[in-house]
Amino acid sequence: MFATIIRIFVTTIEYGKANLLANWSIVDILRMTRNVFLILINGYSPIIPLVMIAFIFYWVKNKKWPEMIFLFSILIPFFLTAKFWYGGLYGRYSSFIGYGLALLVGLILNKKVYWLIIISIFVVFIPTLIAYQQIPYPQIQKQLIEQIKLSKNDVIVLSDYQRPQLTYTNGLYINGDQNEQKNIENKIHKALQDKQRVFISEQAITFPYFQYDGQQIHIISKGDKNKAVIKKFLKNKKLILVSENKAFPFLNIYQFF
């Protein structure tokens, strides 16, 4: 039992050295800072970062070191976790700092400022509430796939972001891994040679850009679609639009010809 605990502890330290303590270039630090602010702004309220900065200035000015230690005991682990970015960001990552923020906001003595912050948090969640009253986008995508009458001999290429809700035995999922990408391209090429029908979703075409995360496009996937991982492979391929919902162009389905 004790040996197992020691091994877990050593493994944790080694993992920390290899991941948390690595990659501390200026670009990495700026990326982490960006992620922190995006999480705070979108997960809570645009006012929250201002509140934290105000507390830092106040505590430094008045040399309230125990309070500073408390704040940084929350901020440092949160900042470190911002090195790792993936879909489903706000709900999971924002929970790392939620308890500390609640205590911090509770320290605000000015009632007007306090209620302004509370109300701003509710306002930020209104667009999310509205978005999640609509039909789930994976369900819309599934309906579009059903329109092409996918058979077990057909191949469909989807984005890894679509995998949890749209799993097919004949599905290929682009995830950004170079080896897997080459394997997918080879399978597409072979299927076309064997005269099989091959379909591809819009999100697979643009991966890792313009990917739905829940009911909204993931905030940092709004990049240059011309840099999509499968862009070069598709350069000499002909795609025909076979299933669409004009209200949701990022859910279009194409067929290789």
Quote the percentage of the chain above a pLDDT of 90: 25
Same domain as 125, residue 195 = no
Residue whose C-alpha is closest to residue 89's, from 54, 122, 41: 41
Strands 198-201, 216-217: parallel, antiparallel or unpaired by DSSP? unpaired
DSSP 3-state of 50: helix
pLDDT of residue 205: 94
Instruction: Give residue 177's identity as a one-letter amino acid code.
Output: D
Residue 233 and residue 213 share a domain: yes
Residue that finishes a domain, picked among 131, 165, 188: 131
Q: Are residues 123 and 141 in the same domain?
A: no
Residue 229 has pLDDT above 80, yes or no: yes
Say whether pLDDT at 71 is over 70: yes
Give pLDDT, residue 6.
Answer: 62
Residues 27 and 66 in one domain: yes
CB atoms within 10 A of CB 141: 25
pTM exceeds 0.85 = no
Q: In this predicted model, what pLDDT tens digit does every residue of 132-145 receive, in sequence order?
A: 788 888 899 999 99
Element at 201 (helix H, strand E): strand 198-201
Residue 59's pLDDT is 85
38-44: average pLDDT: 79
Give the rounded percent of residues in the chain with a pLDDT score beyond 70.
Answer: 87
Q: Please, what is the Cα angle at 131 between 128 and 134, to 5 degrees?
A: 150
Mean pLDDT of 140-155: 91
Kindly indicate the confidence band of residue 16, based on its pLDDT and cuts at 50, 70 and 90.
low
Q: Are residues 156 and 240 in the same domain?
A: yes
112 and 191 inside one domain? no
Q: How many domains does the chain have?
A: 2
Range(s) of the domain holding residue 207: 137-256
Q: Which of 34-43, 87-96, 216-225 has the lowest mean pLDDT?
A: 87-96
Same domain membership, residue 221 and residue 159: yes
Query: Are 211 and 124 contained in the same domain?
Result: no
Task: Look at residue 108 in the predicted model and tell me its pLDDT.
Answer: 80
Using pLDDT thresholds of 50, 70 and 90, give the confidence band for residue 5.
Answer: low
pLDDT at 20: 63
Which residues lie across from 156 on neighbouring strands? Answer: 171, 199
* Shared domain check, 101 and 166: no
Mean local confidence (pLDDT), 4-17: 57
Per-residue pLDDT at 1 exceeds 60: no
- Considering the domain architecture, whether residues 38 and 125 belong to the same structural domain is answered as yes
Return the bridge partners of 157, or none: 172, 200
Indicate whether 64 pLDDT > 80.
Answer: yes
- In terms of domains, do 6 and 127 share one? yes
Q: Tell whether 59 and 122 lie within a shared domain.
A: yes
- 168: nearest Cα among 193, 180, 151: 151
